Amino acid sequence: MALKDEFDYYRAHQSELLKLYNGKYVVIKGETVLGAYDDASTAIRETSKNHPKGTFLVQKCSPGEDAYTATFHSRVA
């Protein structure tokens, strides 16, 4: 899975990152936080200046599992 290492890093360090970046969008590459931004668009635009898209993770830093899970509903049975 692409960016699995970055996502695992976020999950493992979520409580630490919250103390520094709560409510911000953090950019993670490998095990390094490259920056923190107010919105995802800015995070992607600024990081893409020096790193190719698809090589870094943009994750909203917020408490709980809701920060990195999503539920999708479908009416298809």
**Rounded Cα gap, residues 33 and 58, in angstroms:** 10
The 25-29 sheet, strands edge to edge: 32-37, 25-29, 57-60
Res. 35 pLDDT band, cuts 50 70 90 = very high
CA distances from 29 to 41, 55, 72, 76 (A): 17, 7, 27, 37
pLDDT at 74 over 60: no
Task: Give me the residue spans of the domains in the chain.
Answer: 4-63
pLDDT for position 68 = 65
Res. 76 pLDDT band, cuts 50 70 90 = low
Of the candidates 34, 30, 31, the residue with the CA atom closest to the CA atom of residue 43:
34
Continuous H helices in the chain: 4-21, 40-48
pTM comes to 0.83
